[in-house]
Amino acid sequence: MAKAGAAINDMAQSGKGLYVSSCQACHKPDRSGGIGPQLLDFETRFDFAKFRQLMHAGKGEMPAFPHLDEGKVRSLFNYLRNDSGTMESARNVQPVDKKPNTVNLTLVIYIEIQKGINTIDSLYSLL
C-alpha cells in the first residue's frame, strides 16, 4: 500500500512541475485564473478523457500541448484533481517573479496574437 501512495505522490510532484512550467502563466500559481479560467473546481469540471482532449487539441485561447505524452497528461490531471482548490496548495505556491520568463512571455504573445492584437504597443502594454 505504501508503494501505491508513493507512486501517486511522485505523479503529483511531476504534475506540479508541469503546472508551474506550462499552466501557471495563464491560470496563476493559486489557480484563481488570469488569462485562462480558474481551476479551483477542476475535479468537478473534467474527467480524464475530456482533459486529455483539451491538452492535445487546445480550445479557444488555450493552446494545444501535443508534445505532452499520456503519462505527463495523466500526471498533470492527477495533480490538479487531487490538489486543486485546497488552502494547503495555495499556501505552498512559490511566489512568481513579476517579470515573466521567456517561455511564459512567448505563450502570452502567442495568445494575444491569436486574439488579434498585432501592434508592438499592444504587446508591450502586457509587460
Q: Say yes or no: 15 and 74 in one domain.
A: yes
Q: Provide the percentage of residues in the chain whose pLDDT is more than 70.
A: 54
Co-location of 72 and 116 in the same domain: no
Q: How many domains would you assign to the chain?
A: 2
pTM: predicted TM-score of the whole model, two decimal places: 0.58
Same-domain pairing of 69 and 104: no
Residues 27 and 56 in one domain: yes
pLDDT 10s digits, 73-99: 999 999 998 864 443 444 444 444 444
How many Cα atoms are found within 13 Å in the side-chain-facing hemisphere of 125?
A: 6
Asked if residues 63 and 108 have their Cβ atoms less than 8 Å apart, the reply is: no
Same domain, 106 and 118: yes
In the prediction, which pLDDT does 15 show? 87
Task: Please give the C-alpha separations between residue 99 and each of 91, 92, 110, 127, in angstroms, as whole numbers.
Answer: 21, 20, 17, 8
CATH number at residue 33: 1.10.760.10
Range of the domain at 117: 97-127
For residue 4, pLDDT beyond 70: no
Is residue 69 scored above 80 in pLDDT? yes
The pLDDT value recorded for residue 106 is 62
Alpha-carbon span 92 to 30, nearest angstrom: 9
In this structure, are 7 and 66 located in the same domain?
yes
> Cα(86)–Cα(34) distance, rounded to whole angstroms?
18
